[in-house]
Every structure is written in structure tokens, then in C-alpha cells.
Structure 1
Amino acid sequence: MTKRIVFTGGGTAGHVTPNLALIDELKDCDVTYIGSKEGMEKKLVQDHGIDYYAISSGKLRRYFDMKNFKDPFKVLAGVMQAYLILRKIKPDVIFSKGGFVSVPVVIAGWLNRVPVYIHESDITPGLANRIAIRFATKLFVTFEEAGAHLPKDKVVYTGAPIRDALLKGDRRKGLDFLGFQRDKPILLIMGGSLGAKKINEVVRASLTQLVKNYQVVHLCGKGNVDETLASTVGYRQFEYVDKELPDVMAASSMILSRAGSNAIFEFLALRKPMILIPLPLSTSRGDQILNAKAFKKKGLCEVLDNDTLTSEELQRTLTEVYRNRYDYIDRMAAAQGATHGIQNILKFLN
């Protein structure tokens, strides 16, 4: 009998791409995805050729907002919608990567007595997963350190689900796509799927100096392309790169990025020296700060402070990391055991 698996998770690419990585590895399974009506996950999943059901999803906020009074009703509506969808599909298992839309699906799965597995990327769980944990069968974690913050009877250390396609990038194709030469280092700058205002500003303020030492590919986020810089030699900017990303990453010598867990474990798997600029506490719950500290403690990266970052500090750190790049690569090679999570997770899903 064909196994039926429902996936859920959305809001950012970090909640969707690991699901797609797992789906790509599933054999002889009937896969369905439940996500939000307007989230970015809808297009990503449908472009992957997967059946998609949309439900209501309220945002869970830690701050005062008038929407906090009506969003619980959206969550309840989402639970009822997900419950009926699951009754129709009759899945054997549900896998959640988190995000606000996953909460109604996890609760509906529990109500339908379907085994629910959750994956938490960060050292401490986000609000959605904190709510969902009580309804889950098992909670998979990327960081071994996460176990200290979670119910020990539910935690399984799996590592990060790294996309297989990402590991098969072609450096030559990446260079051709970018139009870059082969004998000058490439700096890849990633601000996350929504972009990073501070990183974009400091990079562009430093651009004249940066292109003297590196060829720069800048993934700046939707609506953040600066057309006045389009003719800058040695600088390519994109809102987002999808199919070509494995090749671009293969061609890159060094990466400047936020510190989302999925991304930094991908850099680790690819053994790319990295400089991380975690989201500050003023705009996050501090998860990226903890992620970056954990990698820094193991000698896998350098970390810069978003709020105090200057052009001079950025350039100095880039120079130091590139000069010592082989030391970082050696330490990354020794830490590879943390990056092969797909097979560990599939043992529970297959």
C-alpha cells in the first residue's frame, strides 16, 4: 500500500526548502502539502508539482497588535479546515517544518490521531513549534544543544535536512551564469528570502572597495535591486536565485549571510567560509544570535553585530576570513556529521 504523507510549514523559505528536500528523497509515497493561502510556500510547492491545500493561518505575535484579537479565530478556522482535509486524505504521517501555518495542521493531526513529526532548526524553538510540541509524536532537532530546551522523551537529534541538489552544484556553470572570471574570488551575499536592509546598505556603501578584491554576487531580496549599480563591473545583484543557486554557491569562495539555521548548515555542508550577521533582538527572538554563537564557538564562522556594523569592519573581517579560509574549511570537514539529516528523518517517514 502506498504511504500517504502530509507536509506543512511556511512563512519563509527556511520553512519550505527542507520539506522539499525531504520530498525529493521519498520513494513510492503519496505526498500532499498544507500551507497558507497567500504565503510564499504556495508557489514553491506548486512549482514542485505537489498537491497543495490552503488553510487560514493567523500570525502568533509576541507584541501588542490589534490583529492579535482576531488571529486566534483564524487559527481555529485553520484547525477545522485542516481537520477536514486530513479526514479526506487519511495520511499515515504528518511532517511539520514550523511556521505559523503549521500549528493548525499539527493540532488537526493530533485530533485525527495521525503521528506528527516536527523539525526544529534552531537551538531554541520558535513560538509555533513551542505550541505544536505538545501535540507531536517526536521532535527532530538540528543542534545537539537544542535538547536542553525540549522534552527529552520527544527529542531526536537528526541534524539538518540538506537539499541534495545543493551538493551537486557546478562551479563552471555558476561562473558562466554570473559572467565572472575564474581567477578572482567570489563573495556571495545572502540576506534571506526577504532581504536584509542593513546588509544591503553596508555592502553597497563598501562596493567600490569590495569589487577590487572580490567578484560580488548579491542576493538582496524582493524589491531591493538597485538599478544604479547595474553597470558595476564584478557585481551581480538578484532579488532571489532558485535553480541556479547550487551552481552559484559552488562557484563562491566565501559567504556573507544572516544566521538562519538551514542556511548556515548548508554552508557547512558545502565547506564555505562564512561571516554571519544574525538578526538583532530588536527584530527577532534571538535564535540567529544563538545559532551564530554556536558556530563561532566551534570555529566555523566569524560573527558581526548587525546594529554596529560598519564598512570598515566588514572589509577587515572579509580579509581575515579569506586569508584563513583553509583553516575554516578543515574545521568544517571535521563537523560534517551534523549536516546529514535527511536519511535520519526518512527513517521515521518511510
Structure 2
Amino acid sequence: MKEKRILFTGGGTAGHVMVNLAVIPTFQKEGWTIDYIGSHSGIERELIEPLKGVAYHAISTGKLRRYFSKENFKDPFKVLKGTLQAYRIIGKKRPAVIFSKGGFVSVPVLIAARMRRVPAVIHESDITPGLANKIAIPLSKKVITTFPETVQYLPESKAEWVGAVVRDELYLGSKTKGLSFTGLPGKKPILLIMGGSGGSRKINEAVRSQLDVLLHEFEIIHLCGKENVDPSIQREGYSQFEYVKDELSDLFAATDFVLSRAGSNAIFEFLALRKPMLLIPLSRNASRGDQILNAKSFERQGYARMIEEEELTEERLVQELKRLKEGKNTVLTKMRSFESREAKQKVIDIIKQATR
């Protein structure tokens, strides 16, 4: 029997890996041989390399910037080197199809895939395509989207809306284990605070400045980001971590409300798990504005409240969290109309259909 082989790519942030983590187990169960191309030091290596049965290949990558930097002069050479490395890997492994979740590491992989004539499927999570995916779309056979609004920005012949892909393990968390892991008593509603895989200094500072007020309303799980834990804060009802991986599903099970950035994968996971959320998207000064569009879409649909980062104050943060708590039942009613489980199977079917 001919070997079935698939190659995944995507990285730079956790959001550029999560859909891959959701669909990889299905391909493993069906007997596919799996390779993954990522960067040498990105978060994708931390998340993918420990997986059994997945061969991780690191290549050179150059970051795609929308602003001037001295590194811009070096990055084309890094991308060229990465393309040559990916070309060799693809030639050796001979995958039937490549699935890309985006991020700057995916660009050399998709260039090499076109050179090797291997079909590629791209996943776009945000409402508007990111720079890496904009470059890669002409190199792809299919582009699948999380938001229905995204299709209007893509070639009609390639675009298909599938909805949100959520990892199965997130539904399997234990509230008891989550409380035990955090040391929280669980006597008040639990607020989970996440600033993205890199954390958010502004959110962290606003929360900590109002900790006394917030602890009257909530018990708090604070995922602060790397090197952002403050060991001087030891308060009953407050538990902080840099980043949580294996226990995340248990933390979600224990959570009643979420304060978060507005990365697409994360907010759709909160929606699938029925967690009312207050979103503080990255500002346009720090991003291309995709998180603002994501948050506004969720706010319109009644899934979330939103504060733009430029409008974030300590008082506004407390006020919006109290409003979120008071309006919980209304938000949950809206959320119950959303169903995500079909999306993952759609993605898998599209990938299989694209195989050469």
C-alpha cells in the first residue's frame, strides 16, 4: 500500500499552530506519516516537537514586517535559505499535500511546495488575510477560512468558509483538576486572564492595579506571559502562571469568564466552550488591526464585550468586567447557537481532496 504522507507548517505565535494541533491526531489515527516544518526557535517547535509520531524539521525564517527595520535587509536572504531547506525536505519526504496555518515560517515552505508541484491548502483564521498568507495565496490550491467575511478578500475559485476548528481535548477538561492545579477554592466566579502566547504588559498592569476590587467579584487565573509572573503578589483567590499547556483544558473547565486578546483561534475556543469574554485586541500601532476586526465581529454577535487598547483604563476594565458578569445569561444564550465540531472534519476533507 502506498504511504500516505502530509506535511504541516505554521508558526510564530500559538495561534498559528492550534489548528494544526487539532487536525494532526485524526491524520495519525488514519495512518498518515506526518512531517512539520517550523522555525528553529519559535513557539511551534515547543508545541509540535514533543508530539509522538511527528517529525519536526527546522528551517531558516525571515520575519515579514510592515515597518522599517535593519533586519529587513537580512530577511530576504533568510527566506531564500529557508526556501532551499524546505525544497530539500519536501523533495526527500514527498508529501501528498501540505497544510499551512500561516505565519512567516510558512512562506518559504509554500514557495518550495510550488517549485516541487505539491498541492497546498492554507488556513486563514482572521477576518482579513495576514501578510504571510497574502504572499502564499497564489501558491495554494485552496484557502479555507474561519470567518465567513474573509471569503470576500480571496479568489473566488480558491476560497471556502469552514468555521472554527477547536481541539477535541479542550472539551475534556476537569474543573476539579483545574481548581487543584491553581489552588483556588472556587467559591466565586473564576476569571481567566490571557494576553496571548507572549502575554500583555498593559493588561497585566491594569489587572494588578485593580486586584483588590476584582477579587471582590472573582477568583483569578492569570496567564501572564513569559517572564511576567510577579512573585511579590501572593493573594488568596489569585493564581498566576507564565504559560500553561497540558493543564489548559482543566483551566478552561474551571473558568466562568475570560479576559483576553482577540486572536481568532483563542476567541473561537472560548466561544465553543461557552465562556463569556471581555476582549482587548492588539492596537493598530502593534498590529495590522486584525484583532480589532475579530473583536468587533464577536461584539456584534453578542458573544463578547470589547475595549480598544487605547481606551483601556483601570476603571473601564473593572466596569466592563462587572457588566460582563451581570449579562452572563444573555451572552450564554447567544453562544448556545454556535456549533464548531463540524468545522474540523470539513478541514480534513478539504486537505484530502487536495492531495496530488
The TM-score bracket by the shorter chain reads over 0.9
In the alignment, the residues of structure 2 paired with residue 5 and residue 93 of structure 1 have an alpha-carbon distance, to the nearest angstrom, of 5
8 Å contact from structure 2 (residues 292, 308) kept in 1: no
More deviation in 100-109 or 340-349?
A: 340-349
8 Å contact from structure 1 (residues 268, 336) kept in 2: no
Structure 1 unmatched runs, 5+: none
Residues 239-258 of structure 1 mapped to structure 2, 5 A cutoff = 239-258=242-261
The amino acid of 1:320's aligned partner reads: R
Identity among equivalent positions (%) equals: 53
In the alignment, the residues of structure 1 paired with residue 206 and residue 20 of structure 2 have an alpha-carbon distance, to the nearest angstrom, of 33
The amino acid of 2:35's aligned partner reads: T
Offset of residue 308 of structure 1: 2.2
In the alignment, the residues of structure 2 paired with residue 42 and residue 261 of structure 1 have an alpha-carbon distance, to the nearest angstrom, of 21
The amino acid of 1:278's aligned partner reads: P
**SS in structure 2 of the partner of residue 109 of structure 1:** helix
Aligned residue among 36, 61, 68 for 1:64: 68
Structure 2 unmatched runs, 5+: none
Residue number in structure 1 paired with 2:196: 192
1:314-341 residue CA offsets vs partner (Å, 9 max, x unmatched): 111111111111111110111225x642
Residue number in structure 2 paired with 1:125: 129
More deviation in 300-309 or 192-201?
A: 300-309
**SS in structure 1 of the partner of residue 144 of structure 2:** strand
More deviation in 249-258 or 302-311?
A: 302-311
Residue number in structure 2 paired with 1:36: 39
Residue number in structure 2 paired with 1:145: 149
Give the root-mean-square deviation of aligned CA atoms: 1.0
8 Å contact from structure 2 (residues 190, 256) kept in 1: yes
Offset of residue 5 of structure 1: 0.2
8 Å contact from structure 1 (residues 296, 303) kept in 2: yes
Aligned residue among 321, 324, 329 for 1:321: 324
8 Å contact from structure 2 (residues 184, 239) kept in 1: no
Offset of residue 2 of structure 1: 2.9
Aligned residue among 338, 341, 346 for 2:343: 341
The runs of at least 4 consecutive aligned structure 1 residues that moved more than 6 Å come to none
Residue number in structure 2 paired with 1:5: 6
In the alignment, the residues of structure 2 paired with residue 196 and residue 341 of structure 1 have an alpha-carbon distance, to the nearest angstrom, of 30
Offset of residue 75 of structure 1: 0.7
In the alignment, the residues of structure 2 paired with residue 308 and residue 177 of structure 1 have an alpha-carbon distance, to the nearest angstrom, of 34
Residue number in structure 2 paired with 1:95: 99
Normalized against structure 2, the TM-score is what?
A: 0.96
Offset of residue 182 of structure 1: 3.2
8 Å contact from structure 1 (residues 162, 340) kept in 2: no
8 Å contact from structure 2 (residues 186, 219) kept in 1: no
The amino acid of 2:286's aligned partner reads: T
In the alignment, the residues of structure 2 paired with residue 344 and residue 143 of structure 1 have an alpha-carbon distance, to the nearest angstrom, of 14
